[in-house]
Structure 1
């Protein structure tokens, strides 16, 4: 369970950097060749002994090689394809080595997982942790800006809603899905793109795109499940579906279909999952 939390935070950190345009060009639209190139850049820019276990896990032991740079330069680029699938949301259960390599590539902190877990346990053991979170969590906590505590996100959403009842333009930002969405006049909208909602200026126009009012809950929780073979009986009660023109789509939350709002999503039963996943 703890590694699941770590995995989600690494992915959210990637999405936040993508939204804030702080990713390397190689990572914005990753390919296997670009991933290898980025690894070579990173290992030259910020080599750190604490990352040796991550490199050994992904690329193998050094053996007779002088350093990991030479190993990376000659690695089969197909080795990066599972990592690319994780980045693109095509798999929800990536191997640990892929999560750790992504953390290394984007300079996620604290890393690797063992260090992150120890820091989390230390924080939980502190009897003043809750008071510290309430006092400092809105700006920064012990982990730096990489921690996306669920309760912290909920507080931001509640703050957004309260501000919306008075003056939407009075709130400077809200955390949604692990990245910041700046909120001011003309920027309380979102639109559906492929498998999730994305924020947009209300006065901005994209041809063929329908904008709706910003809903932080949907931004965080409502997504289309693109890799349906990961669905199991455990998904019953947690997944919703639509069937339009004999095409079945699965989603992570209830509500209306994002493209066909006249269609209300239905809870997925065992029969639906077994038949259409």
Structure 2
């Protein structure tokens, strides 16, 4: 059986990044600035109790995540997230391991970390990775942006410091109001700004807290859940105690289980999968889009491949 390498893990993360750019956190990932990635960290870790994920956070930032305390998250930490940004955008070929592990959390790749990714893959998943190794989607993304980054981090490092600081400051000002209170407190070095700066920040924080209160209220009053009906989801109301087996999620509400036949189109004109599957025993179930598997949301549907079609769907029936 072929060995699953760390390079395969990196490629799987990049593939998940391309997928997540159109998902719930597209605002953070379509433009993966340091500030946007910082905000995504908050969202991913706010209710995350996974031991490996918390170890990764501490290893990357040099302090533990604690949602009940104001962690010091200033310029140094924003600069560290530049490495994750460059990885997502294909501007670096050899990112540090900590960078890769944090990137896996930000795009919610499962299984993770690498030790789990390596040992939990079954033969069909390994076959899928082998096929993807040769696809254009996973080729090294080398462009003029790579050269720019090399110049900026190399001989011209000192000359670009001012530009980087200005970019970080702009990103902080644009995104400060998006940060949940009591988790990350961006810190600006120096004492500039005086009373006007303090007043401006106080007003921003007050406006944010008001908005957060409204969001929490609306979320608490939301009654919609969704229930899997065997081949599709339907909206239902929460029980009297407010509990949902599955909360309504517009991204996955249109998920449908499909029966493939001899005329089913599995790929679009560019070769991308139009059908998603999950392997159950010695057979596969097919669906119309990516989503968590509705019978077990800890598992995720995968894009169909020719290998899966040939092995499990070669004798599919004629369409009516």
Question: TM-score interval w.r.t. the shorter chain?
Answer: 0.3 to 0.5
TM-score by length of 2: 0.38
Select the structure of larger CA radius of gyration.
2
